[in-house]
Amino acid sequence: MIYFDNSSTSFPKAPGIQKALDEYINNYPFNISRGNYRASYTLEEKVYNVRESIKAFFNASETSNVVFTSGVTASLNTFIRGFHKQGDHVLVSPMEHNAVMRPLEAMRKDGIITYTVIDKDDIFTGNIKKYIKPNTTSLIVNHASNVTGDVIDINALGVEAKRYGLAFAVDSAQSAGEINIDARNIDFLAFTAHKGILSLQGVGGAVISKGVETRIKPLVFGGTGSRSSSFEMPDFLPDKFEAGTGNIPGIIALGEGINYINTVTLDRIHDHKIALRDEFIKGVSEIDNFEVVSLQNNDFVGVVSLIHKNKDLAEISNSLDRDFNICTRVGLHCAPLLHMTLGTFEKGGTLRFSFSYFNTSSEVKECILALKTLA
């Protein structure tokens, strides 16, 4: 099987995860912050070590700024629902996933917030000033598009957001594990384990800038194993946003993913994926009627989307699977907003190929041959 659906979830997962989970199941499948025995403390230390490696990975200022959640969707809901107040105005990029658009739209419908989508030319040049109103309180951007691979310059936008006093939130679902991200320029960085970090589904988190946590209400309330005499949530990080038992095996797997990426290095991963992307695009350019869609031409992650002048993309995707054993995804990819900008919304979206560090040039060649046959 050739797996080109890594934007959805990565395959294969990082080497090391299986062994770490085997050890977890056999030796310490306990709870943390809730047991007064050494085996629980050992596990607590392992979870703390993962928190530390994420701190280093994203250059966070303190280990406690790293909060574990079930992934980017849960993290972004925490920020969107917990930070914004009645009357706030929010700015977003045109590349937002429904993990941003749906909570925003729900709050808009409830009459709590309004939002504005920044034009594609302005988001890539950092020109946000003209969108800012007296009640604008935040800027939320998807670092890398899960449809086209387009990358937004979050360092430049972070500076602009700071200049205008906006809280800056970043969705790193498609960039973490491929591009270096410096959390010190970001107020709320949402990350997930199961894509670029090569780990498991249902775990991820947020890096919350010091002081910003005081402006965010938790989404979920409950036991934390700390300040148990109070009916109120602790006001400190990470406990404020970690009610209930966390996904401990997921966190252990996440740590293995980070270790593996650190060993290979982000540069090598990114270079490899971009080489595959470039080779794929060159191959596709030699086939009639396919077109690559994107918002800009400079900066990408290893994701690419195609449209075809007259063929049905779902049929192509099905044939790739059934006749050539190549896994792709077709449709809107949970990002209708971007398709409205690309002009691909009415036609039902794009055919997406998303590469991993484990994919090879010969797999790309095989896919190009398959597309030639199908086209």
Ligand X SMILES: Cc1ncc(COP(=O)(O)O)c(C=O)c1O
Cβ of residue 143: shortest distance to ligand X, in angstroms? 8
Cβ of residue 362: shortest distance to ligand X, in angstroms? 27
The stretch among 16-24, 69-77, 150-158, 304-312 that binds ligand X (CB under 6 A) is: 69-77
Examine residue 174 and tell whether it contacts ligand X (CB under 6 A).
yes
Report d(CA 268, CA 357) in Å as an integer: 9
Examine residue 146 and tell whether it contacts ligand X (CB under 6 A).
yes
Cβ of residue 6: shortest distance to ligand X, in angstroms? 11
How far from chain centre, in Å, is Cα 163? 25
**Contacts with ligand X, 126-145, as mask; x by CB under 6 A:** ----------------x---
Cβ neighbours for 79, distance < 8 A, ≥ 6 positions apart: 140, 169, 188, 190, 206, 216
Question: Which amino acid, 73?
Answer: T
Strand order in the sheet with 290-293: 290-293, 303-308, 350-354, 329-331
Examine residue 84 and tell whether it contacts ligand X (CB under 6 A).
no
Q: Which residue, 142 or 317, is less far from ligand X as judged by CB? A: 142
- Chosen residue from 6, 53, 73, 350 binding ligand X by CB under 6 A: 73
Which residues within the stretch 325-364 sit at the binding site for ligand X (CB under 6 A)?
334
Instruction: State the maximum Cα–Cα separation within the chain, in Å, rounded to a whole number.
Output: 69
In this structure, the number of other CB atoms found within 10 A of the CB of residue 362 comes to 9
Candidates 273, 281, 73, 309; CA nearest to 193 is: 73
Examine residue 97 and tell whether it contacts ligand X (CB under 6 A).
yes
Which residues within the stretch 287-326 sit at the binding site for ligand X (CB under 6 A)?
none
- Chosen residue from 51, 57, 71, 167 binding ligand X by CB under 6 A: 71
Cβ of residue 173: shortest distance to ligand X, in angstroms? 3
The stretch among 38-46, 70-78, 272-280, 285-293 that binds ligand X (CB under 6 A) is: 70-78
CB-nearest residue to ligand X = 71
Which residues within the stretch 154-173 sit at the binding site for ligand X (CB under 6 A)?
171, 173
Can you tell me whether residue 330 is helix, strand or coil?
strand
Examine residue 148 and tell whether it contacts ligand X (CB under 6 A).
no
Report d(CA 155, CA 171) in Å as an integer: 13
> CA torsion angle for 360, 344, 129, 144 (degrees, to 10)?
-20
Name the DSSP class of 5: B
The stretch among 16-24, 71-79, 113-121, 299-307 that binds ligand X (CB under 6 A) is: 71-79
Question: Which amino acid, 294?
Answer: S
Name the DSSP class of 34: S
Cβ neighbours for 316, distance < 8 A, ≥ 6 positions apart: 308, 330, 351, 371, 374, 375
Examine residue 209 and tell whether it contacts ligand X (CB under 6 A).
no
Examine residue 224 and tell whether it contacts ligand X (CB under 6 A).
no
Residue with tokens 């914004």: 84
Can you tell me whether residue 32 is helix, strand or coil?
coil
Q: Which residue, 204 or 234, is less far from ligand X as judged by CB? A: 204
Strands 188-192 and 136-142 turn out to be unpaired
Count the residues of the shown chain that bind ligand X, applying the rule CB under 6 A. Answer: 14
Examine residue 44 and tell whether it contacts ligand X (CB under 6 A).
no
Examine residue 204 and tell whether it contacts ligand X (CB under 6 A).
yes
User: By the 8 A CB rule, do 200 and 194 touch?
Assistant: yes
Cβ of residue 145: shortest distance to ligand X, in angstroms? 7
Cβ of residue 54: shortest distance to ligand X, in angstroms? 14
- Chosen residue from 72, 92, 170, 320 binding ligand X by CB under 6 A: 72
Cβ neighbours for 271, distance < 8 A, ≥ 6 positions apart: none
Helices 266-285 and 248-264 pack at an angle, to 10 degrees, of 80
Cβ of residue 122: shortest distance to ligand X, in angstroms? 20
Residues that bind ligand X (CB under 6 A): 7, 71-73, 97, 99, 142, 146, 171, 173-174, 192, 204, 334
